[in-house]
Chains A and B, each alone.
Chain A
């Protein structure tokens, strides 16, 4: 439940008003008339009481002010400690910001490298596809190695091809040779499987620029 009372706002502004006109005025001459001694006595008592009252009021105010001063001193100390803490925190944060900036720079550099590598990704994989797609039907690759030399922008591939068909191995060699000038085919060897079948094996070493395509 929301509790609003507009009369509260009014009380804050209340002040005490004293009607001074209600006070009786006393002429000095009257004090010297008969019976004026009573007035004088009363007046002296009144003055004494007023002085006492004023003394107590001042004393009270003094106490309040010294308390307030103490509180303010405490507050000052607290604020100084807080300011010190904040400046330390500021230094820490500045250090952290520097560290993060360096980290961001590293990440940016890494990003550039990744973007550069990404441009090689497609032609690199494409050359792998090219060699495998054109393999003779009855053949298999027992070893395939492909590497990229970024400084010379060339892809080096090495294949060990095995087949039962000697002729098709020759045809494949010629086909691949057409894609690059730098191709080397090792002499065809005849080997026997553990189960006694004969097959032919040859090693192809190919080198071609990465941006050349297939």
Chain B
């Protein structure tokens, strides 16, 4: 009877349900390695660090013109990086950073409500769906105040970056913001507060100032790559005077320089001759163009 019932059910297309249990990948836990992915408008930089912060493989930097997703996929396949955990960053122009202060006497719930309200107000002006996240700093100089750093980005941008990375076969774990990666380097290396970092990349530059009461960042459009080709002194001079103006106006005292510019000694020397630079943020064994990728890796390893 039971056999015939089973036969009938089988003929009707019923099958024994198969259960798929969730599995825990021990490979990733034991490896604890992470890849920092720095995406700019023209370059992809990949840096991998092991749990002991040594290099996982030789860092890779490639330039691209059109299809960023395709280039990234090719890189992942070529260097066999499929399945690795990745921490990437949105570029400075793809996000919006805000700094708020609140009284520390607020309860956790009230503080969260206040932050959500402030962010929602920003979102009204964006008129687009957006993703955001915030970080509360309770170690400001004034014990009566709390600092809140919020980053807002268009949903479309975040989804596009996420799709590019996931389609390439990488596991996107954290999506950070380029400006914060620069600040995090200073905080991780315990630079005395307040500090400012001038990150000069091939197509743009970012000047970030971090103090206990404020965060300011400025994006410069001077192209180092173009200067290396054309040696256009006029644009270089105007870049230097722009930075110098910012240094004077904002009363910046501890200014450090970082990024791909450090690979070109003559350009770095010219900047240092004209701008009061306090120090170079050189990554010793890692080329300077992986400054942000390195900071992202450290952020990923720190959890």
Distance in Å from the Cβ of A58 to the closest Cβ of chain B? Answer: 26
Docked complex: A95-152 residues within 8 A CB-CB of B: none
Could you tell me the distance between the alpha carbons of A37 and B78 in the complex, rounded to whole angstroms?
A: 59
Cβ B133 vs Cβ A5 within 8 A? yes
Docked complex: B1-51 residues within 8 A CB-CB of A: 5, 8-9, 12
Cβ A4 vs Cβ B131 within 8 A? no
Cβ A6 vs Cβ B151 within 8 A? yes
Could you tell me the distance between the alpha carbons of A1 and B174 in the complex, rounded to whole angstroms?
A: 14
Contacting residues, chain A, for B155 (C-beta < 8 A): 10
Distance in Å from the Cβ of A63 to the closest Cβ of chain B? Answer: 23
Cβ B176 vs Cβ A5 within 8 A? yes
Cβ B177 vs Cβ A4 within 8 A? yes
A18 within 8 A of B: no
Contacting residues, chain B, for A27 (C-beta < 8 A): none
| Contact A6-B177, Cβ < 8 Å, known A1-B184, A1-B299 | yes
Cβ A4 vs Cβ B134 within 8 A? yes
Kindly count the residue-residue contacts between A and B in the assembled complex, taking CB atoms under 8 Å apart. Answer: 61
B293 within 8 A of A: no
Chain B interfacial positions (CB closer than 8 Å to A): 5, 8-9, 12, 90, 95, 130-135, 137, 149, 151, 153, 155, 158-159, 162, 172-177, 180, 183-184, 187-188, 299, 302
| Contact A7-B132, Cβ < 8 Å, known A1-B299, A2-B180 | no
Number of residues on chain A facing chain B (CB within 8 A) = 13
Q: DSSP majority for the B interface?
A: strand
Could you tell me the distance between the alpha carbons of A7 and B159 in the complex, rounded to whole angstroms?
A: 9
Which one of A3, A8, A13, A35 has the highest number of Cβ atoms from chain B below 10 Å of its Cβ? A3
| Contact A2-B183, Cβ < 8 Å, known A7-B175, A9-B131 | yes
**What are 8 A-B pairs at a CB distance below 8 A?**
A1-B188, A1-B299, A2-B184, A3-B135, A6-B90, A6-B131, A6-B175, A7-B174
A38 within 8 A of B: yes
Distance in Å from the Cβ of B106 to the closest Cβ of chain A? Answer: 15
| Contact A4-B302, Cβ < 8 Å, known A9-B131, A10-B131 | no
Cβ B8 vs Cβ A38 within 8 A? yes
Cβ A6 vs Cβ B153 within 8 A? yes
Cβ A2 vs Cβ B135 within 8 A? yes
Could you tell me the distance between the alpha carbons of A10 and B158 in the complex, rounded to whole angstroms?
A: 9
Could you tell me the distance between the alpha carbons of A155 and B74 in the complex, rounded to whole angstroms?
A: 107
Cβ A4 vs Cβ B187 within 8 A? no
Which one of A1, A4, A5, A8 has the highest number of Cβ atoms from chain B below 10 Å of its Cβ? A4
